[in-house]
Structure 1
Amino acid sequence: MKTTLEKHLLSKPSVKKDFQEDWEAHRYLIGGKMFAMHVQDNKGAEILTLKLNPEQGQEVRERYEGKVVPGYYMNKSHWNSIYLAEKLPDESIKKMIDESYRLVVSGLSKKVQFEIAQS
């Protein structure tokens, strides 16, 4: 994965990165919940999977047809996988990262959201 995207993922408040051996995937977590996953698909292509609301996800898949697809091994309406070799603009990917982070944080308890806001 590009260094700039990795830095953007890790720049978010309270983000933790781990490696899920069963999936051979790097996960980016906030409050114990995943908001991004970096993995290779079954053909070895590098992908970044992010959460988006269903309407936004559908719009992104249509705009970047074949480059952004329904989430690889994830809920197909809420998760989207970006093929990183397909040269999407970094700014577009960063906006999707921001939205994924925001969506996952909004689903956390108010207490955890407060703690994240204070960090």
Structure 2
Amino acid sequence: MNIDNFRTYCLQKPGTTEEFPFDNETLVFKVMGKMYALSGLESWEAGTPRINLKCDPERALELRGEYPESVLPGWHMNKQHWNTVLLNGEISLKQLYEFIDHSYELIVNSLTKKLKEELKGLN
């Protein structure tokens, strides 16, 4: 996966926007204003891409155990709810898409009823 594939995959999800709220290097994807994925552009340029994704706490621990070289506690994030995924070849593209989908769905499920209705209107 490259940065363009990552951006395209995230942006095709309903209600997704991309922003740089922290600095000019940290690309953030939000659904209805709530963050579900972020990545430092410098990690892509350095050849060791990293993506932070929201994750169910139990599943986060399972993934860290299953992929100790690729799935780490979220860098600069709540480590119970966020993972940092290193794109070092251990995680397949299909698995990465599943991780992104899981993160997106966690945020969508946590939205208020009003925001969920607004999101439905965007489809």
Q: TM-score higher than 0.5 here? A: yes
Root-mean-square deviation (Å): 1.8
Aligned to 1:116: 119
Give the residue type in structure 2 aligned to 1:11.
Q
Query: How far apart are residue 106 of structure 1 and its match?
Result: 1.2
**Distance in structure 2 (CA, Å) of the matches to 1:87 and 1:26:** 23
Q: Which SS does the other structure have where 1:34 is aligned? A: strand
How far apart, CA to CA, are the structure 2 residues paired with 1:4 and 1:62? Answer: 27
Residue 35 of structure 1 deviates from its aligned partner by 0.3
- In structure 1, runs of 5+ residues without a counterpart are none
- 1:46 deviates by 2.3
Give the Cα–Cα distance (whole angstroms) in 2 for the partners of residues 22 and 5 of structure 1.
Answer: 19
Matched ranges for 1:1-119 at <5 A: 2=2, 3-22=4-23, 24-39=25-40, 40=42, 45-119=48-122
Contact 1:5 1:90 in 2 (8 A): no
Superimposed CA distance per residue, residues 34-75 of structure 1 (whole angstroms, 9 cap, x where no aligned partner): 00001156xx54210000110111111111111110001000
- Distance in 2 between residues matched to 1:23 and 1:84, nearest whole Å: 21
Q: Distance in 1 between matches of 2:22 and 2:99?
A: 25
| Cα displacement (A) at 1:5 | 2.8
* Alignment coverage as a number of residue pairs: 117
Deviations 1:86-116, CA, capped at 9 Å, x for gaps? 4410110111111100111111111111111
Write the distance in 2 (CA, Å) between the matches of 1:36 and 1:30: 10
Equivalents in 1 of 2:61, 2:24: separation in Å? 25
